[in-house]
Structure 1
Amino acid sequence: MARTTRARWIEAGLEALAEGGPDAVRVEVLAAKLGVTKGGFYGYFDGRPALLAEMLDEWERRCTKEIIAQADAEGGDAVARIRRVGQLSFSEDLHRIDLAVRAWARHDPSVAARLRRIDNERMEFLRRMFGAFITDPDEVEARSILAFALAIGRHFIAVDHPGHTKREAIELAGAHLLRPQA
């Protein structure tokens, strides 16, 4: 059997998490999927809890820190940066992982605490960006929470949008949130 890298174990774990939750992250199953022996896992991790912790580290890095850093590096005004972060962080592949972490957090207090910290980081980004072109602090807070709720919850909404596709309706809502202050 071939060897694999630590990164491939983490990626396989994240994929299993997205497909079936934390109970689906099993060393034997991941080893079979990667085409390696289970023993190779222990060359990289002290056990399953270590893999789970590194998966959360990777989720945090990939779904928040790298995205905000990329939007900052690309520059542009606050509206452009909000749009860019939204496009990057809630792409289908990353959104699946984010939703799985949210489901996991409902049953694991340590994951819930980490999710709260990351969501607070995301909200601070939104508050800072909306605050760049909105002067009313209540409106900044309202737009920030609505934008965040739209990004996370859009997959849970099963409603028709007369005259619009789902994507068009979401884009319309986003454009409304990003309009200048009245």
Structure 2
Amino acid sequence: MGVTRTPRGAWIEQGMRALAAGGPEAVRIEVLAQALGVSKGGFYGYFRNRDALLGEMLDAWEREAAEAVIERVDAGGGDARARLERLFTITAAATGPVTGVASELAIRDWARRDEDVAARLRRVDNRRMEYLRALFGAFCPDEKEVELRCMLVFSLRIGSYFIAAEHGGLSRAQVMELARERLLT
């Protein structure tokens, strides 16, 4: 009977959890192996070194946080507003180790200190903005209005996690729903 190996994806997901919890410095092979309950020897069956893992983590994030989301949204069909609704629902529900908000924020923080990560982040953000422009542009003829709506969507997605303010008797979810309704009119 052969030895069961920990799947490559498990190493990547555990790496993303470590990144989200403590930044790139927290992504250490021995710590990941402990968290997975395996020896670190299995790591080298998949990755040359820690840098290779970090690169694959970024690859997974780029694929899952942009292209896979867009594919899911488009697969559901419908007009641009229906797709935007689906996009908002999918991104609000993203909680996995690769696509969750904690990973997103950790990558943004990492990008402030690493130009290669910053280049990837720009590529992902530009891809997301292209997609948003196409959707908003389908029902909003003013290019400036389209750009404004795209920026508001982005700002809400990222920035809302940094705001601790109360909302005058409304819940955060209610305020986000009001924003969603306004953006889609």
Same fold (TM over 0.5): yes
In structure 2, distance between residues paired with 1:3 and 1:35: 12
1:110-125 map, 5 Å:
110-125=116-131
SS in 1 for 2:104: helix
Look up the equivalent residue of 2:6 and give its one-letter code: T
Look up the equivalent residue of 2:171 and give its one-letter code: T
Give unmatched runs, 5+ long, in structure 1: none
In structure 2, distance between residues paired with 1:104 and 1:113: 11
The answer on whether the counterparts of 1:79 and 1:129 sit within 8 Å (CA) in structure 2 is: yes
TM-score, normalization: structure 2?
A: 0.92
User: Where does residue 21 of structure 2 map in the other structure?
Assistant: 19
The answer on whether the counterparts of 1:64 and 1:89 sit within 8 Å (CA) in structure 2 is: no
In structure 1, distance between residues paired with 2:91 and 2:60: 13
Deviations 1:7-62 (A, max 9, x none): 11111101111111111100000011111111111110000000000001111111
TM-score, normalization: structure 1?
A: 0.94
The answer on whether the counterparts of 1:2 and 1:36 sit within 8 Å (CA) in structure 2 is: no
Larger mean Cα displacement after TM superposition, 50-59 or 72-81: 72-81
1:2 Cα deviation (Å)? 5.8
In structure 2, distance between residues paired with 1:146 and 1:102: 18
The answer on whether the counterparts of 1:154 and 1:170 sit within 8 Å (CA) in structure 2 is: no
User: Where does residue 76 of structure 1 map in the other structure?
Assistant: 78
User: Where does residue 167 of structure 2 map in the other structure?
Assistant: 161
Look up the equivalent residue of 1:156 and give its one-letter code: F
1:133 Cα deviation (Å)? 0.3
State yes or no: 1:139 paired with 2:142: no
User: Where does residue 50 of structure 2 map in the other structure?
Assistant: 48
Equivalent in 130, 144, 147 of residue 136 of structure 2: 130
In structure 1, distance between residues paired with 2:114 and 2:106: 12
User: Where does residue 180 of structure 2 map in the other structure?
Assistant: 174
Equivalent in 6, 9, 12 of residue 10 of structure 1: 12
1:160 Cα deviation (Å)? 1.2
The root-mean-square deviation of aligned C-alpha atoms, in Å, is: 1.3
1:89 Cα deviation (Å)? 2.8
Count of aligned residue pairs for this structure pair: 179
Give unmatched runs, 5+ long, in structure 2: none
Deviations 1:65-124 (A, max 9, x none): 111001111011212211222222342332221111111111111000100010000000
Runs of 4+ in structure 1 off by over 2 angstroms are 89-93
